Amino acid sequence: MNGMNGARRISALLALCAVVALAALVSACKGATGEHAPGGGSAEGVPQPYVTLRMIMPGDESARMREFVDNELNERLKRELNMKLELTYIPWSDYQSKIELALSTGENYDLFWYGTPFVAEYKAKGYIQPLDALLQEYGNDLTANIPADNFKLDTIDGKLWAIPSQAFTSAGKFTSVMVRQDLLESVGMIGIRTIADLEAFYTKMRAKDPSYYGYLETDRGQDVLWRELSDRPLSFLDENQMFAVDEDSGELVDYLESDLYKEVAQVRKRWVDTGLIDKQFIGYKAANIDQEDAGKLLFRVGAVSRAMENLQTVQNADPDAKLREYYLSPDKPKYIVAPSNEAYMIPAKASHPARAMQFMNWILQSKEHYNFIIYGVEGKDYRIENGKIKLLTNDQFLYEWMWRNKNYFMPTTSVDDSVVQDMLHNDDNARVSRIFGFHFNQEPVKNEYANVLAVYNEKFVPINLGIVDYEEHFSAAMDALKKAGYDQVWDELQRQYASFRSGQTSLSGREESE
C-alpha cells in the first residue's frame, strides 16, 4: 500500500508540475504581445512587455516639449504603463499630405490626431481600425469623462472608429470670429456684431498701423457670414463646403447653386479687393500661421475657445495682446453639429493598438495626469493659483484644446474672466443640429465624388477665396462640376440623408412610446 501511495503521490506531483509549466507558458505567450491580456498586463498591473508607442501630432515641437517627453513623461510612462512615447511632429501646413502618405503606405505608427470630418474618409480608405473592443477593455476613464453622445459622432456602421477626445462646449463651432480685442478697443470699438463692424475694424486699424492685416481663413469662414447673410439657419454638411442643411426644416440645401453662395462670394471678393484678405497669403497656410504667430492678424475664424487657445502664442509676440470671439447676428441660435472636432485614431496597421488606448485612457485617469501631460511638471512648468493655471514657461506641451474636458478644465491666469464665461456659457440655449451623427458614405459614388472634388478645387475654390469674380466664372464652373458627376453625388447624398432622418424619426417614436 505504501508503495502504491508513493507512486500516486509522484504522479500527482508530476501532473501539478505540468499544469504550472503550462500556465507559465501561456503567461509568457500573453506577455510577448502585451496587447490583449486580461487587465492589460502583469500581476502588478503594469502592461508587458516594454514597448515604444509611435504617435504623430501636428505643429512644431517646442524645446521644452521635447525635453519633457524625453525625460519626465517617458520616465513616468515607463513606470506606470511600461512604454516609451516616440512623438513625431509634422508642421501644420504639411500635416494632411504627410499623414495621408504615412497611412496609405502603412508606416508603423500607433496613434494620431485629426479632425472629426476625416474619420469617415479614413475609415472608407481602410486606414484606421475599429476601437470598440479596445475601448471596452482599456478605456474606462475615457468613457467616464467623455459623454456617450460624443462617441456617437465617430460611430459608423455600428462601430467606433475614433476617440472624441474633447468634451466641452461646442455649439456654433467655426461660425464665430476671433478678434484682437486690444486692437479693437484701441480704435474705439467695443465688439463685433456685423460684417460692417469687421470692415470698419480693418479700415481703422490699417489707418493707424498698416503692418496689420485682416485675414479670415480662406479655407473656412463662409458659414461665419451666413449668420448675417441668410434668413435660414444653415449648417455645413461636408468639410468641402458644397452642401448644407436647413436646421428649421431639416431639408438639404444645394449651397453652391443658392443665392447665399453668390452673396458670400461677393463679400469675399470685396475683401480681397480692399486688402482685408491679403492676396499674398491666399493659399499659403504656413504664411498665414506665421503672421498670426507674429501677432499681425486682426481676426480669424473662431472655435468657441480659440481666444484662450491662441493667447499664449500671440502674447509671445505682443505681451499686451487680448483675444475674444464674437458671433455675427448674435441673437440667432447656435447649433451643436459635433460635440468634439478632435479625433484620435489608431491606424489599421498599428503595432500596439492596446497600448495606444491605454495611453489615451491614462490621460483622463485623473486631473493630475491631465495637467501633467498638458502643462508639464507642477512647480517647474506651471502652478495653480486661485483655481487657474499659472504658466511658468512659454513653450507648448500637448495641445490643451485637443483634450479639453469639462471635468478637469482650469483656465490660465492670462485669460480674461469674460473670455472664460463666453466659453462656459457658449452652449446655453443651443440646439442639436439635424446632421448630428450623420456620415456620408462616398463609396457608392466614389469615382464621381473624386472627380467633383477635383473640379471643385480647380473652379470653385478661387471663387470662395475671392480671387476671381463670381459673375464671370460661376456658370462655367458649375457646368464643369455637373459633367464631373455632381448630380449623382447630390442624389446619393439625399438618399443617405433621407435614410438617416428616417432612422432618427423611428428612434424618436420608440423612445416616446417607452
Structural domain boundaries, residue 498: 443-505
How far apart CA 423 and CA 488 sit, in angstroms, is 41
Whether 415 is in a domain gets the answer: no
Residues 377 and 326 in one domain: no
How far apart CA 429 and CA 508 sit, in angstroms, is 21
How far apart CA 164 and CA 364 sit, in angstroms, is 12
Peptide bond into 49 cis (omega under 30): yes
Count of CB atoms situated within 10 Å of the CB of 102 = 18
- Give 313's pLDDT tier (boundaries 50, 70, 90): confident
Residues 183 and 252 in one domain: yes
Residue 100 above 80 pLDDT? yes
131 is written with which cell numbers?
476601437
Amino acid 151: pLDDT: 94
Q: Parallel, antiparallel, or unpaired: how do β-strands 252-254 and 243-246 relate?
A: antiparallel
Residue 186 above 70 pLDDT? yes
Across the beta sheet with 177-180, the strand order is 299-301, 177-180, 323-326
How far apart CA 104 and CA 98 sit, in angstroms, is 10
Tally of helices (H runs) and strands (E runs) in the chain: 23, 17
Contact 449, 489 (CB under 8 A): yes
Q: Which residue has the higher pLDDT, 344 or 396?
A: 344
Residues 401 and 449 in one domain: no
Residue 106 above 60 pLDDT? yes
Amino acid 509: pLDDT: 43
Three-state secondary-structure class, residue 315: helix
Residues 193 and 329 in one domain: yes
Which of the listed residues 383, 408, 433 is the one where a domain comes to its end? 408
- Give 408's pLDDT tier (boundaries 50, 70, 90): very high
Which of the listed residues 306, 338, 370 is the one where a domain comes to its end? 338
Residues 323 and 364 in one domain: no
Residues 55 and 96 in one domain: yes
Q: How many structural domains are present in the chain?
A: 3
Task: Give residue-wise pLDDT tens across range 341-381.
Answer: 899 999 999 999 999 999 999 999 999 999 999 999 999 99
Secondary element (H or E) of residue 89? strand 83-90
Which of the listed residues 338, 369, 394 is the one where a domain comes to its end? 338
Whether 434 is in a domain gets the answer: no
- Give 505's pLDDT tier (boundaries 50, 70, 90): low
| Average pLDDT, integer, range 129-154 | 96
DSSP single-letter state for residue 281: G
Domain holding 310: CATH number? 3.40.190.10
Taking the model in full, what pTM does it have?
Answer: 0.78
Residues 277 and 229 in one domain: yes
